[in-house]
Structure 1
Amino acid sequence: MDRNPSGKGGIDYVLWGDNGNPLALVETKRTKKTAEIGQQQAKLYADCLEQKFGQRPLIFYSNGYQTYLWDDYTYPPREIQGFLKKDELERLIFRRKNRKKLHLVPVNNDIFNRSYQTEAIRQITEAFSQNIRKALLVMATGTGKTRTSIALIDLLKRANWVNRVLFLADREALVTQAFRAFKSHLPQANIIDLTKSKTSQAITANIVVSTYPTMFNRLNDMGDKERMFGVGHFDLIIVDEAHRSIYQKYQTLFDYFDGLLVGLTATPRNEVHRDTYRIFELESGVPTFAYELDDAIKDGYLVPPQGINVPFKFLRTGVKYTELSPEEQEEYEAKFYDEEKDTLPNKIDSTALNRWLFNENSIDQALDILMEFGLKVEGGDKLGKTIIFARNHEHAEFIVQRFNKNYRHYKGHFARVIDSHDP
């Protein structure tokens, strides 16, 4: 062997399959040395095992702190968070001979029929075919990110590239929505909503749909026991609404699983934080594929927003006492008169007014305008789905309180707060 005059050497560990062929070998080094120092030696051992058994093993090398996996049939070495389980190793070996060339596998047009969705999948599969393991899709809200991800999963499964998939979203409502979509378009797949299931039920599932905290907690609740989800359990991880705050909070979750990674976001490409591009190993501002609001409007899939004039200019520009009507001056005095200093400011700027947004009258007026001029459904009798952007969580809660008070006939079911406080 190279670097060994005798041509002999001892392999630290070999992991064998039931058929007597080597699945993987492990080359270990002392902790005071780098793990990479064992790479070449491990390769030589793999050469020998392949020559003897006709099957090249997967290569691991580690110093106890860092562990690398090298499947030199397909990818360069990559750092992983642990060793793969037997069935996970067997899947990787199986794919060497059985995975198909992705450009030869057709997209299932029964799942969608829009050309940009096909292009999105082709851009991802082209990246995967070039041994790139991460992809980021930027697609405007309403253009079918979930449907696109379902079609991607379908194609990769038919091509023998993936078997187990993890779909992550940041809220239970989105998980439920995605779960229903998966059930509808992939009826033959074993799909589990982890937020409503035991971990043991999810182990055999083809597709696991979960919130970030649910999966994070399931991994950490095992204590000293072996984790039921191994490092290589999932072949593909799809991250819904991929943005910087998610990775800041759950970075260890993405580091733990060794699978292909696809991020979905509706944030315009120029507004996606550079840290998100860095996580996906992409140049800032250059996602794998982008189909943004202007594209969807031009193609006729979405309509542009239309503004209306509302009597809230003062929230943007501030307000001057001298420009108010007598009734408004009376309210102004009640709100902003400083009894201790016996002063009344001549003007209130927009920043100060925004701190005053908890004023019941202001919120009630805004809600009245929304209910009168907002887009209607059901023959014009009901307000359609609407988003109200609040200043913060407390402001949002206050808006809902005012809505429920003013529109009692909806019995508290019409408006709700959806933000990071939502489970």
Structure 2
Amino acid sequence: MLTPEQHARQLIDAQLTAAGWTVQDTKLLNLGASAGVAVREYPTASGPADYALFVDRKLVGIVEAKKEGTSLTAVAEQTARYQASATKHAQRVAEQLPFGYEANGQEIRFADARDPEPRSRPVFGFHRPETLRDWTRQLHTLRARLRTLPAVTTAGLRDCQIEALRNLDVSLKDDRPRALIQMATGSGKTFTAVSFIYRLIKFAGAKRVLFLVDRGNLGRQTLQEFQQYTAPDDGRKFTELYNVQHLTSNQLDTVSKVTITTILRLYSMLRGEAEYDAGNEERSGFELNGDAPQRPREVAYN
């Protein structure tokens, strides 16, 4: 029988492997095995770290592992101590390692020490080594860039749209994880959404924006809004500057800055399904499910 700690480590090993990491024991260390190597029980000045994350042979982060059922919200300080602890015979991307995770096999929390106000937050899975490599090469994090957004260009905007964009800027600069824009019918909600997406991509360096709609016809209308939008500081159309993909298959275009899809197709993709019947996208999820109670659906790492 495995102890709760051993069982959690098995699950964490599998989660790291699914995200593209090669998991190794310290005694069998081979940093050339792959681009991303997660080393168990790696020695530091504060004691062995549960997992040390190496990308291209350089130490970039720490995973603090706890047994199943452990609350992770109070563990971030322990992770931060390992991130700052000295290590022998290891190249580091920085004296204070930027990436810290807490995991118990069921939950994963993450923090980037380079953020203006670093804080632990839940994530769906461990980030891929390629993602951490890209982040280490950036001068500032996304949350830092959100604090330097320029003032909203008000030409051609209605008062309610200006108010929405300005208030959203405040929310983003305050690092609030969620925001809601509530506007009346006919007030230009989609135009407002395209406006702030343009700002996120151009000024905050957002890599990709996911635009979720309830059904297929709303996705087509949204694509038209992007095609008709003229950048206020450039004069060109949005789709002349950035690629926009309206998903009609389960294949993502890797160069697109904006991906428009229905919630139904997104769920199909997270399930790892190769295709999805487009006819289902013309009805909302509420119509497809009817009034029958639905238990939460499970998806795996993808």
**What is the TM-score normalised by the length of structure 2?**
0.63
Residue ranges of structure 1 left out of the alignment (5+ in a row): 1-5, 224-240, 258-423
> How many Å apart are 1:159 and its aligned residue?
2.2
Corresponding position of 1:412 = none
Tell which structure's C-alpha radius of gyration is larger. Answer: 1
Tell me the residue number matched to 1:180.
224
Aligned counterparts of 1:158 and 1:86: Cα–Cα separation in 2: 25
CA distance in 2, matches of 1:210, 1:170: 9
- Structure 2 CA distance, aligned partners of 1:107 and 1:48? 43
Tell me whether 1:40 sits opposite 2:77 in the alignment. Answer: yes
Point out the more displaced range, 91-100 or 65-74: 91-100
Measure how far apart 1:34 and its partner are: 3.7
Are the aligned partners of 1:69 and 1:80 in contact in 2 as well (CA < 8 Å)?
yes
Query: Deviations 1:74-131 (Å, cap 9, x if unpaired)?
Result: 4421222211123433455426357535465133557x42232122111111111111
| Correspondence list, 1:391-406, <5 A | none
> Cα RMSD (Å) of the superposition?
3.6
Residue identity in the other structure for 2:98: P
SS at match of 1:60: strand
The answer as to whether partners of 2:244 and 2:257 remain within 8 angstroms in 1 is: yes
| 1:164–1:206 contact (8 Å) kept in structure 2 | yes
Distance, in Å, in 2 between the alignment partners of 1:193 and 1:109 is: 28
Q: Is 1:132 aligned to 2:176, yes or no?
A: yes
User: By how many angstroms is 1:21 displaced?
Assistant: 4.3
Residue pair 1:170, 1:211 contacting (<8 A) in 2 also: yes
Structure-2 residue corresponding to 1:64: 105
Q: Which runs of 5+ in 2 are unaligned?
A: 1-43, 230-237, 275-283
Cα gap change, 1:120 to 1:90, in 2 (>3 Å): farther
Q: Is 2:250–2:269's contact at 8 Å kept on the other side of the alignment?
A: no
Between structures 1 and 2, the one with greater helix share = 1
Q: What corresponds to 1:106 in structure 2?
A: 151
- Aligned residue for 1:134, secondary structure, equals coil
1:364 maps to which residue?
Answer: none
Change in Cα spacing, 1:117 to 1:252, as seen in structure 2 (3 Å) is farther
Q: Does structure 1 conserve the Cα–Cα contact (< 8 Å) formed by 2:220 and 2:246?
A: yes
Residue number in structure 2 paired with 1:117: 161
Asked whether the 8 Å contact 2:210–2:260 carries over to 1, the reply is: yes
Contact 1:81–1:256 under 8 Å retained in 2? no
Of residues 242, 247, 254, the one that matches 1:189 is: 242
Is contact 1:49-1:57 (8 Å) kept?
no
Alpha-carbon distance in 1 for matches of 2:181, 2:296: 19
Aligned residue-pair number:
226
Distance 1:108 1:252 in 2: 42
Secondary structure, counterpart of 2:85 in structure 1: helix
1:311-350 equivalence runs, <5 A: none
Identity %: 24
- Look up the equivalent residue of 1:27 and give its one-letter code: E
- Aligned position for 1:271: none
Q: Is the 8 A contact 2:165 2:192 kept in 1?
A: yes
Taking structure 1 as reference, are residues 40 and 97 closer, same or farther at Cα in structure 2, changes over 3 Å only? Answer: closer
Structure 1 pair 249/149, CA: closer, same or farther in 2 (3 Å)?
A: farther
Partner of residue 274, structure 1: none
Q: Structure 1 residues 49 and 217 mapped into 2: Cα distance closer, same or farther (>3 Å)?
A: farther
Aligned to 2:198: 154
